[in-house]
């Protein structure tokens, strides 16, 4: 989807939060437009360390979303 007029929801920001939110909304059938101001991904890693609890929550969420 490319046009704001066609979207039910506009998610601003393509970081982890925006990407997951847009994915979940899309899976719920919402016509979702995600806009990101940066043309390219952040140039250095921003998740060199993920603590155990965050990893557990992420894995659980990914499984629910059908990812392996």
Ligand X SMILES: Cc1cc2nc3c(=O)[nH]c(=O)nc-3n(C[C@H](O)[C@H](O)[C@H](O)COP(=O)(O)OP(=O)(O)OC[C@H]3O[C@@H](n4cnc5c(N)ncnc54)[C@H](O)[C@@H]3O)c2cc1C
User: Based on CB atoms, which residue is closest to ligand X, 10 or 67?
Assistant: 10
Distance CA 61, CA 57 (A): 6
* DSSP letter (8 states) at residue 35: E
* Token pair of 2 as six digits: 């490319």
User: Based on CB atoms, which residue is closest to ligand X, 42 or 64?
Assistant: 42
Minimum CB distance to ligand X, residue 30 (Å): 18
DSSP string, 11-34: EE--SHHHHHHHHHHHHTT--EEE
Q: Which residue is nearest to ligand X (CB)?
A: 15
User: Based on CB atoms, which residue is closest to ligand X, 13 or 26?
Assistant: 13
Minimum CB distance to ligand X, residue 57 (Å): 11
* DSSP letter (8 states) at residue 42: -
Which residues lie near ligand X (CB under 6 A)? Answer: 12-18, 35-38, 44, 46-50
């Amino acid at each position: 989807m490319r046009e704001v007029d066609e979207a039910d929801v506009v998610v601003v920001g393509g970081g982890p939060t925006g990407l997951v939110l847009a994915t979940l909304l899309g899976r719920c059938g919402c016509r979702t437009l995600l806009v990101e101001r940066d043309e390219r991904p952040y140039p250095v890693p921003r998740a060199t360390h993920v603590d155990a609890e965050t990893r557990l929550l992420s894995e659980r969420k990914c499984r629910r979303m059908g990812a392996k």
